[in-house]
Amino acid sequence: MDGLTPLPPSDPPAARLLLAWGNRSRGDDALGPLLLDRIQRWLAQQPAALRRAVECLEDQQLQIEHLLDLQGRQTVLFIDAAVGLQTPFSAMALTPCRDSSFTSHALSPQALLQAYRDVLGERPPPCQLLGLRASQFGLDSAPSPQALADLDAAEAWLRAWLQQATAW
């Protein structure tokens, strides 16, 4: 024996991953993390089966390392502020796509899914993007009143999505 203690087996990841990003000090860019805060408070009051099925992860931006967070998931919901929406929020399915963000400072969810495919050699889990209507990104400013009002509608949609997605 080499004196090393084997690591205990780790628990499998939660079936659903909510991955939100944004800068909390740049106005409406904080919407993704703020929605994640709300959902975490709501999840704390839900049955244990639902709580165990969902993991919440926040970052300031998507990074290539996040591809490891996607492993073993049944589904992933990316959450971010979105400019130009005519509705309070939008939800759309994502597919892997190589784009210019792959080598830039800001990585798109589609480029992350492509990196998952390229690095791990397998298809990523089903993913969606929840875009939250945003318009103001001033440094050291609070989210706009309209964005906060819109966040209520996105939260209601996300709660229903989680309940439906975990009702097996």
134 pLDDT exceeds 70?
Answer: yes
Nearest to 32 by CA among 16, 18, 49: 18
Nearest to 124 by CA among 78, 67, 65, 77: 67
145 pLDDT exceeds 90?
Answer: yes
Q: Report the CATH number of the 16-64+73-94+123-165 domain.
A: 3.40.50.1450
User: At 78, is the pLDDT very low, low, confident or very high (cuts 50, 70, 90)?
Assistant: very high
Q: What average pLDDT does the chain have?
A: 90
- Dihedral sign for Cα 60, 65, 67, 69, please: negative
| Cβ pair 137, 29 in contact under 8 A | yes
Rounded to 10 degrees, the C-alpha dihedral 80/153/97/70 comes to 70
Secondary element (H or E) of residue 32? helix 31-43
Domain boundaries along the sequence of the chain: 16-64+73-94+123-165
pTM, to two decimals:
0.89
Give residue 164's pLDDT: 86
